[in-house]
Amino acid sequence: DTAVSQTPKYLVTQMGNDKSIKCEQNLGHDTMYWYKQDSKKFLKIMFSYNNKELIINETVPNRFSPKSPDKAHLNLHINSLELGDSAVYFCASSQTPRSQETQYFGPGTRLLVL
Amino acid sequence: GQQVMQIPQYQHVQEGEDFTTYCNSSTTLSNIQWYKQRPGGHPVFLIQLVKSGEVKKQKRLTFQFGEAKKNSSLHITATQTTDVGTYFCAGLPTSGTYKYIFGTGTRLKVLA
């Protein structure tokens, strides 16, 4: 049973294209996150939703738009992809957004923009 | 902005040697978590520290939270090849946001 799943696992695309990454969690958690991990392994939060409501919106280009149709799903749409968007994108979830909650990460989506 | 730095960035050790990674925050933290990411994998939660000066152990791993709640360390005794990976600390600032700030990570390689 996969707790946090992401699709696709790998994504290779051309500059300028639009792409989406999907995330689903079956843990019954209220809170979901998107992280970006660059080639140096730095892990930075991008967005967080709690019960479909956006609670964290870091300084990311507005080409990135998250959407949460329900609390078990958090998708990430990226418009006009650029070379610098190449990275591993991790989805994560936690029971609540409060402190002391463990975050459960998905397997990651490896995005390569050519 | 708020930052969490980890040192060293990389560490190569012989199997059986000890290893320590240090985590330093620019601001006071409510609590700190540690995660391990195997090569090609995703971060997996290891432990959480909440109290000032807290020390927790998991088999060969010892975690410590500083008295001022601005730093933490992870010490591995007698490393094994299964310890290979990147270790991240993640701190939650006391400023009231929901946002954990991940450290820069320490990549550990264990040579057999």
Name chain A contacts of B42, Cβ cutoff 8 Å: 90, 105-108
Residue of chain A minimizing CA distance to B6: A42
pLDDT band at A1 (very low <50, low <70, confident <90, very high): low
> Does the beta carbon of A22 lie under 8 angstroms from any beta carbon of chain B?
no
Mean pLDDT of A72-83: 96
Asked if the Cβ–Cβ distance from A41 to B86 is below 8 Å, we say: yes
% of residues, chain A, pLDDT over 70: 97
A19-63 tens-digit pLDDT: 999 999 999 999 999 999 998 889 999 999 998 888 888 878 899
Mean pLDDT of B25-34: 93
Residue of chain B minimizing CA distance to A49: B98
**pLDDT of A82 over the 90 cut:** yes
**Taking the CA of residue A77 as centre, how many other CA atoms within 13 Å lie in the half-sphere pointing to its CB?**
7
Instruction: Tell me the C-alpha distance between A14 and A12, whole Å.
Output: 7
How many residue contacts between A and B have a Cβ separation below 8 Å? 55
User: Angle A50-A92-A110 (CA atoms, 0-180°, nearest 5)?
Assistant: 135
% of residues, chain A, pLDDT over 90: 77
Question: What is the token pair recorded at A6?
Answer: 């992401």
End-to-end C-alpha distance for chain A, whole angstroms:
34
Asked if the Cβ–Cβ distance from A100 to B50 is below 8 Å, we say: yes
pLDDT band at B94 (very low <50, low <70, confident <90, very high): confident
